[in-house]
Structure 1
């Protein structure tokens, strides 16, 4: 029997009473399926139902074949080793005893002489060739530990694999290891990811929303083409709905004007005709009944047209990336906004991670800082904004700048979005603040939402509103891994906002699609891990 995983009529409600999804059906055969959707839609919950980490509330899950799970975060204790994570410690120790000549008869019977070659092959496949299986996990970076988890899947060869955001917090090489692993995978796979490189290795994309699951054949690029067509259809439906409602309103005005003229003429003729009151009242009653029927028909048509308009607007809001109106930074092209002159620095003055580093950024330039985890990218940003002072050399900043880190720490988590905006833009009037936040989709009462209740994407959007929505946007915007933990809709919104901004950008990001979308023209490479 071929491996498969079938979900039937699955529903789940949180402890707080929020329904994540209802009556979901999904079938996984021998293909790679990417699961996408807004943060909070229930993607990770669905995976935890499959693995049994969460108890089923309704429906059924049937599975044929073995299941392997890539853990999102591996705990690195002082005693746990690579071979422990590969779940092969016992078999490995048996082989080592046999090699050293201390093995028993039981060891001889149980020894798997293919283990060492399979271990070496699995580690090589994920870029950890030559790595000692007894090496402690605490000596590895987060990206290297993820690679060890990938090696464990290769070693176990499960029929079905589940991966939940496998490239989160990985550097470029770590991401590439995940992409290569999935590109070569020939079994069943269900992968929750917002990484477009990962999604390009998929055979189909399944989208989870409040409406349920919707499958799209093909990988990310084909999914994107189909979504673009949906947006075009939704745009057309919105225009048609607006036109229909306007036409009904125009006809209603014409009918009302005709009735008013007819009523006025009727009153004049009634006064002149000299007919009995009984006859006149009967005529008036018939006219009112006809008018009432016409009015009811018009009301039904108007209600139908209004529902169609609201449906079209709702669909647009669900599938169309938002757009932003951002004021000009007024920074001249060619003006130096940031300069490093032979800068040496870092948190540890005895072993500075940045050494004798020089570069300049000019107005309008878009520059990415690249390099493996641990090479000093975030340290460079901290030096750029003055959070760290250089041990040697000089950092020169010209004009206003702003930085958004992964946690958007410039927002006050004790207050509202509006309060953060006012604090960061003290020269803006209340109307200016409201108007600016509305341009970033924090309209009316949503501007009064506590910052602590915002999702990751909403936090970053609020941060961008605060630094780009004021009367004087900064000359330089500095970003540290801005797309980490964001869903695809949020990433698209951030890319749109940054493309509307005309100042200089300095960003750290391992998301190649993001860097391409925002028009990065130059890279500062930190290639060595110190």
Structure 2
């Protein structure tokens, strides 16, 4: 069992990252930990793994969790065995087998005679056949590094496992192995992920916010339905408060106008009655105090309703706050943009694809390019855009393309957010119009002077979407290369909303089946 009670974590500058976090992980339980980028999900996992200490609160566990971090570059200079913490045992095991049976080797091995068998079985299970534990980690791809640490679960057989974005670098086959493991394991799990297919395999969703954790007793689809109900209730509450605020302002105006008329009539009567100046001043002061009191009462009510409204609006999700409006392509649907017949390319005199490719790209289509890591997905994109010329027959029409790679390299790191938006301003929008667009994409004034280099992946994606709405003409083709990697749930929803409004041609490289279904992909090109 693992228990967190009222845990708070602060940055070194004493700013609070999150507080009042409560989690209980029971035996065999499988929990999803989600939340917006920057809210502290990875930090919380490190606390659970014992790598960070909370500023306050209680943390108890009856066993040491096995932790798979999101970023694995820190292990590059280690061997695989060192990264997994099994190098000493493996060395002792091999020494003993070679006849060097010393007390030291026996103590290090600690009767773990199945260590070699377990790592061999684990590597095979995760598609790492042929990978030697003495290899350096930097010789592996990102997906292989993740698989190495996932294989460590079978090697170490822990009671609890903490996984930080485990499917990020995995291809379709790797994800299938991961999903099967999650479905069949009895190990207790806490998983940080934005992979909705994976999240639907877990039994509880915990949403981390700066003020604590909201627990939903179901999988991701259950969570999404509950959030929809909450959003509808919030929207109804907003409408009700907006109506109440309008009514309060009307009543305030009518009451003050009525009081002013009464004061004016009273003054005329007093003047006709010929009251002394001192009496007139006393009555005037009394009327002014009465009017001021009425104004104060109504102003207080209006201010209270206004604050309630602001508090409610702050609870809106990003997708409710922003409106995406991507223009449509000028190309008519059905136009042949690319026609390829028996094409291939070679690297080191070897053809990339076992069988040459033949395909068409038709205007208005939504195409997914799929294949294992190293199958040539990026090369195919370069062929479609004209950056690579293959062997074989290929014809391309004239069309405008925006290629969004995983690094968002269309954005310039040295420009500020506002300057970057201006780079796309081919329609001559005024400064205030640009800033209104930025606000619409959740970039408030505090962001405008920030360099693009400090933006998160989700923020870069939103800035690029904003830039596309600023441009005078939408592209005919948008190409997205693994667009869901490193995006949180909020930014995934924003991206999905934007793509579903776009009426041009879409080409997507992705292993995320949930995302492909949501954006209505109607054809797949599978590379082997």
TM-score between both structures, scaled by the size of structure 2: 0.88
1:38 deviates by 1.2
**Deviation per residue, 1:106-162 (Å, 9 max, x gap):** 79997656556545554454355x657658466654323423322221232211111
Instruction: State the alpha-carbon separation in 2 of the partners of residues 439 and 90 from structure 1.
Output: 56
- Structure 2 residue matching 1:316: 3-state secondary structure: coil
1:415 deviates by 1.1
User: For residue 219 of structure 2, what is the aligned residue in structure 1?
Assistant: 219
Moved more, 514-523 or 83-92: 83-92
Instruction: State the alpha-carbon separation in 1 of the partners of residues 391 and 112 from structure 2.
Output: 55
User: For residue 21 of structure 1, what is the aligned residue in structure 2?
Assistant: 18
1:8 deviates by 3.0
User: For residue 159 of structure 1, what is the aligned residue in structure 2?
Assistant: 159
User: For residue 266 of structure 2, what is the aligned residue in structure 1?
Assistant: 266
1:476 aligns with 2:474: no
1:402 deviates by 0.9
1:507 aligns with 2:508: yes
1:337, 1:476 within 8 Å by CA — same for their partners in 2?
Answer: no
- Structure 2 residue matching 1:297: 3-state secondary structure: helix
1:39 aligns with 2:48: no
- Structure 1 residue matching 2:316: 3-state secondary structure: helix
Instruction: State the alpha-carbon separation in 1 of the partners of residues 362 and 488 from structure 2.
Output: 31
Instruction: State the alpha-carbon separation in 1 of the partners of residues 512 and 238 from structure 2.
Output: 34
Instruction: State the alpha-carbon separation in 1 of the partners of residues 89 and 413 from structure 2.
Output: 51
1:405 deviates by 0.9
1:404 deviates by 0.9
1:369 deviates by 0.4
2:17, 2:210 within 8 Å by CA — same for their partners in 1?
Answer: yes
Shift in CA distance, 189/367, structure 1 to aligned 2, threshold 3 Å? same
1:365, 1:521 within 8 Å by CA — same for their partners in 2?
Answer: yes
Instruction: State the alpha-carbon separation in 1 of the partners of residues 417 and 79 from structure 2.
Output: 44
The root-mean-square deviation of aligned C-alpha atoms, in Å, is: 3.0
User: For residue 487 of structure 2, what is the aligned residue in structure 1?
Assistant: 486
User: For residue 350 of structure 1, what is the aligned residue in structure 2?
Assistant: 349
1:118, 1:155 within 8 Å by CA — same for their partners in 2?
Answer: yes
Moved more, 303-312 or 448-457: 448-457
1:336, 1:360 within 8 Å by CA — same for their partners in 2?
Answer: yes
1:207, 1:215 within 8 Å by CA — same for their partners in 2?
Answer: yes
1:103 deviates by 7.5
Structure 1 segment 75-474 matched on structure 2, within 5 A:
80-81=79-80, 87-88=85-86, 104=101, 114=114, 118-119=118-119, 121-128=121-128, 136=135, 141-317=141-317, 320=320, 322-345=322-345, 348=347, 350-354=349-353, 356-430=356-430, 433-442=434-443, 446-474=447-475
2:20, 2:211 within 8 Å by CA — same for their partners in 1?
Answer: no
Gaps of 5+ in 1: none
1:36 deviates by 0.9
Q: Of the candidates 11, 27, 47, which is equivalent to residue 8 of structure 2?
A: 11
- Structure 1 residue matching 2:24: 3-state secondary structure: strand
Gaps of 5+ in 2: none
**Deviation per residue, 1:401-435 (Å, 9 max, x gap):** 11111111111111123322332343433255445
**Deviation per residue, 1:185-224 (Å, 9 max, x gap):** 2232221111112211222111111222221111111111
- Structure 2 residue matching 1:420: 3-state secondary structure: helix
Moved more, 501-510 or 375-384: 375-384
2:424, 2:470 within 8 Å by CA — same for their partners in 1?
Answer: no
Shift in CA distance, 68/385, structure 1 to aligned 2, threshold 3 Å? same
User: For residue 59 of structure 2, what is the aligned residue in structure 1?
Assistant: 61
2:317, 2:490 within 8 Å by CA — same for their partners in 1?
Answer: no
1:33, 1:203 within 8 Å by CA — same for their partners in 2?
Answer: yes
Shift in CA distance, 425/225, structure 1 to aligned 2, threshold 3 Å? same
Shift in CA distance, 105/324, structure 1 to aligned 2, threshold 3 Å? closer
Shift in CA distance, 20/73, structure 1 to aligned 2, threshold 3 Å? closer
TM-score between both structures, scaled by the size of structure 1: 0.88
